[in-house]
A and B are shown apart, each in its own frame.
Chain A
């Protein structure tokens, strides 16, 4: 009975749906605005939407094709994420032609579905690292950098701080990680690098949700490591920083992953967070030309996603803007190939992402120099950049302390290919031939 009522209601709604113009490109905004991870979801989603809104207002869309979107609440929950995806797939006028799942779990759940549906997934800085091998994962794009690239850059950064990679010999490194698929991601890379550079690696798991970490940090106090890598998410981050202060471990020896490096991760820790360092693939700030444009064309007109204006230019916000830039550039790319001023399909979008080439010149035109690294995607390499910056919390805001740093490409690439090959074997996938340009 309930199902019939539901069907009837859905039908009624489908009939009442507004009429859409022909020249529009639909981009789903399936994020989360409630629950424990709402700061990340609403910030990232806000940035993406703000950027698209700015493009519509400033340029009238992309070559005259307006961007439209609809929000769908995933609650950071796999089941809701899949439902939102399936719903956005048939959203008029174009259906979803690209998706940002913004959750490692949802990304995993969508890899099969999206590949079958020919809808590219952009999992920027999360999701399955080995999807960087585009031969096995044609529709998945862990753009800019992956967890493994990041882990190598972190080790490099710490080495630099100590005065050279040879200083690692005999040093101690501790990885404090969220006990989940996400948290375990860097362990193989760090283990491999330990062999190469001769440091001693200890991994310490923090059970979900990570709101109590006394035992873990007491262990760290015993180990007395030279560096600590924090691989956390949500409440685990401020709790870790607080616990570090509690045992007197210097905060400027803790380097966080980019999901541990937003304002929302350090503000709850208060003054204890001063000096804490984190990685990032986007810089915070409201002064980039593109951010000024968003302010001018969106916020000054009384629009924009944030009621709380202090979130403008925050880490999650600019990360969403970077997602917007990447998405829009890929659409532009696809249009250039398949017909300017026309909406594109999922397959064409895939081509567009795979041939992205955002160099310094293009970054300047976009007004995003320094906001994000240069990016060149190819069939072989779905990551496209691998560059990482580091930033330090000064008690009030994040300050970028390095330029873009290179990962250990050789190591990461060999591990990516090995993992992707195993996946291909398990699933019975024949990797495609990258020498042919295919749709």
Chain B
């Protein structure tokens, strides 16, 4: 029983880590209908810049601030050079443009900072909480809890940003219809620059959290893969969906791996998440929190 609780809790917390990456996708998809394939590269770029600055002896907060500025600049540049010329193009074209962006970003990151992996530690040890493991023999990592806390704060900030502020309202208007938003005088370009900057910020947070776990290296771009089933399950345009989706995927894939895996040769994590998402979708084809699709002829 204790072990079951440990697996579930660990799975939920792992799911939060997936959600962190998924949030970046959601922010951009919400505001522009673009599935940003380059989110994984953004995560890599942000974390690598941050850790490289720190290794050059910068203060952690200064490095964080400078990286953030870099991400904002990057967002503006992407808006100018990639998105602005592609306004009103079909989603598949925009998707392809972000794929092109992936090559550019990955090349740029390695060009600037090299391809050697780096270690990253934030001073919060990734070890089990003692009293829990002593009393009930349940292992829950302190760092995982910290990750959950960060994700919670991030979601709160994003929710306030999109629901309560002027920018947020404009953002939602843009998401509904680019042209209608333009027509009522919303500066589309500014909105997109802001959105990409926010996604850059989310990428930085995700990159730092994953960087502690895996080291800061090229493989951080793979974190995007972990976010895919979460997105599909939660719905591409829902912040709450990203969190709930992450929790469901995390818990179910860990349970499957631990309890089902040994009977079929293990390693089923790789596809189990997609099967879970598929089952949910068969019931609700637009994702858990996705907007209902209404077909009109």
Contacts and interface: CB of A to CB of B under 8 A. Distances in A.
A42 B218 CA distance: 14
A405 interface: no
A218 B117 contact: no
A271 interface: yes
A248 B139 contact: yes
Contacts of B210: 211
Interface string A182-210: 00000000000000000000011111110
B33 interface: no
A331 to B, nearest CB: 31
Contacts of A270: 119-121, 215
A222 B266 CA distance: 15
A144 B127 CA distance: 39
Contact of A219 (B217, B225, B258): B258
B3 A222 contact: yes
Contacts of B128: 246-248
Contacts of B257: 215-216, 219
B197 to A, nearest CB: 26
Contact of A267 (B126, B215, B218, B222): B215
Interface string A210-238: 01101110110110000000000011001
Place the interface of chain B in its size category: 35 or more
B265 interface: yes
Contacts of B121: 270-271
A348 to B, nearest CB: 37
Contacts of B110: 34, 38
Interface in B219-238: 219, 221-223, 225-226
A212 B117 CA distance: 17
Contacts of A179: 266-267, 270
Contacts of B262: 219
A214 B127 contact: no
B213 interface: yes
Contacts of B286: none
A207 B267 contact: yes
B114 interface: yes
Interface string A39-50: 100100000000
25 contacts: A36-B221, A38-B218, A39-B116, A39-B117, A179-B266, A211-B223, A212-B269, A215-B7, A215-B10, A215-B261, A216-B257, A216-B266, A235-B214, A235-B219, A238-B117, A238-B214, A239-B214, A245-B127, A246-B139, A246-B143, A247-B128, A268-B117, A268-B120, A269-B119, A270-B120
